[in-house]
Structure 1
């Protein structure tokens, strides 16, 4: 069954044999319509189940009060919590959110961004997909005078407002913890190096090893192990080496760390005594696994609020030019059973 046609001001005008402009003025409580006519128009609007088109009304006034958010995956705890933080803040300001997901597809990301531009949103908040290398569509946002805020996965070359984690420092602290627990052959599961966050985490890993005068061993660095399945595949290769690692840092996500744990358990490695496991993101399941997984908390809800507040602060700024700047949120190492050795070796 086809949906019922939406009632417009023209339907109300036709029924009452008056002009659409008179209906519009009455619905906007204008003083230029007499009270009796206004009451009749409001009564007819209610009878016809008229619903005001807020978007069209705001556009006529030169405002939209809508923010678009583009993320790789809505169902990941990191992104859903960031969105939650954004929504809490935007709701308090009577702004609406349009949420899109790219599913890590560059092509879909472009379509999402173009759709938001066509919706005349006031701001686009984005964490870029893993696939992309050409970011012309983001420059297009700027060219349309739409505020662009990047978070987490950002394009360094684009000078915009950015909210990021201090990934290098967090990784440095995580690897230092593993070294302090007595781990000596620490492997890295890294993500796509075209994304800034994974470059930063690898930099933190290398910096920690060098700081503690430990060798960087190429065979212990696994490229593009950024999903649970790829993390598991990389772990099987690492644990099958003649001299396997005694710790694995899944720098990409806790899902990758979960893949590490499952493979290690199936191959008979005792965690944490024979193998330490450190993840990234503090997904809820990391507390529930056996053993629980050490990870790095990114303070996602706070990050979302920071992003939204940054937009409103800039909107209230009397200067017409937004000065690009980066706000860094410091993550926190969460030590759990997967890296807490009963005795150091």
Structure 2
């Protein structure tokens, strides 16, 4: 097999049939100016020569690539995988392709991914920003290139674009109020990186819930964790071995951190949920099968993905050009999933 075999073009077909390239192109695109005999002749020769249309070149001539780019922190987290699945369920119906890039929480990789998508002339860029970095020039660059930008989940407020988010503050408040209703009185918070609005909102919801129930907000029970996908057993162990340890922990960063709490609690022979309640965030698949199963918050990623894609297509259907998307914020309501790790009553 000759891997370097030259791709057949319309010019090759034109030479073989002694026709002009424009006649071949029109024939392949069923142009009404071409008679049926010529059209059939061109199509037959194209099949004989194994001609394949250059869809990229064709789409660029039309000013559209039929491609959407997505940048997420991590593909292997259920939430982001579900968002992508939701987006794809809509894009498939419209014959659009997806290019997916993950930043792995690296600002440098995020910038590189976005710039690559710009250079690939995608029709829209969808992004959830990484935990690292505070320079968002690359997002403004998307807008400056007149490429519609849709931010979701982790968004940058100062960048004017469509935003599809969860009400993180309300979800966090409901989670803490669930812990209070279950009889827990010293509730600790494992917060995510505070440079991101979603984690600031979750922290705000935690504080509001405590204050609404006239419970103290203790600084030593609030820990701002890093962004790595996993858990830090050292600070969890330190928290659980305080002279007055918490009797519940809300791991608001993610379920992986909640899983870490459960593992350390097991090592210390702390009974869950009798002595310690645990609540995570994201409804990862493993939360159903741990012992005990983990209470968490479902962000409804598939619904969010469908909303993101449908918002884009609704806008281009209205405008017929895809060059602009109305600036708005759409909120998807998360859902508290109460499981055995907090149900001691």
TM-score (norm 2): 0.94
Please, which runs of 5 or more residues in structure 1 have no aligned partner? Answer: none
* In structure 2, distance between residues paired with 1:3 and 1:330: 53
- Relative to structure 2, which stretch is displaced further, 116-125 or 223-232? 223-232
* In structure 2, distance between residues paired with 1:54 and 1:285: 41
1:329 to 332, 336, 339: 332
* In structure 2, distance between residues paired with 1:222 and 1:286: 22
Please, which runs of 5 or more residues in structure 2 have no aligned partner? Answer: none
- Relative to structure 2, which stretch is displaced further, 317-326 or 217-226? 317-326
The residue matched to 2:290 in structure 1 has which SS?
A: coil
Superposed CA offset, 1:71-120 (max 9, x none): 11111110110011111112222222221111211111111111111222
Superposed CA offset, 1:101-158 (max 9, x none): 1121111111111111122222111101111210001001111111111000000111
The residue matched to 1:81 in structure 2 has which SS?
A: helix
Superposed CA offset, 1:262-298 (max 9, x none): 1111111100001110000111110100000000011
The residue matched to 1:235 in structure 2 has which SS?
A: helix
* In structure 2, distance between residues paired with 1:225 and 1:232: 13
User: Counterpart of 1:238?
Assistant: 239
Going from structure 1 to structure 2, the CA distance change for 1:11 and 1:292 (only over 3 Å counts) comes to same
Q: How does 1:1-345 map to 2 (within 5 A)?
A: 2=3, 4-227=5-228, 229-318=230-319, 322-341=325-344, 343=345
Going from structure 1 to structure 2, the CA distance change for 1:56 and 1:278 (only over 3 Å counts) comes to same
- Relative to structure 2, which stretch is displaced further, 42-51 or 118-127? 42-51
The residue matched to 1:40 in structure 2 has which SS?
A: helix
**CA-CA distance at 1:228 after TM superposition:** 5.4
The residue matched to 1:317 in structure 2 has which SS?
A: helix
* In structure 2, distance between residues paired with 1:213 and 1:73: 38
**CA-CA distance at 1:230 after TM superposition:** 3.1
* In structure 1, distance between residues paired with 2:56 and 2:324: 26
**CA-CA distance at 1:44 after TM superposition:** 1.9
Provide the aligned C-alpha RMSD in A: 1.8
Do 2:67 and 2:122's aligned partners in 1 also have CA atoms closer than 8 Å? Answer: yes
Do 1:291 and 1:337's aligned partners in 2 also have CA atoms closer than 8 Å? Answer: yes
**CA-CA distance at 1:194 after TM superposition:** 0.9
Number of residue equivalences: 342
**CA-CA distance at 1:19 after TM superposition:** 2.8
Do 1:227 and 1:255's aligned partners in 2 also have CA atoms closer than 8 Å? Answer: no
Do 1:73 and 1:104's aligned partners in 2 also have CA atoms closer than 8 Å? Answer: yes
The residue matched to 2:130 in structure 1 has which SS?
A: coil
**CA-CA distance at 1:231 after TM superposition:** 4.2
Do 2:8 and 2:50's aligned partners in 1 also have CA atoms closer than 8 Å? Answer: yes
The residue matched to 2:125 in structure 1 has which SS?
A: strand
The residue matched to 2:231 in structure 1 has which SS?
A: helix
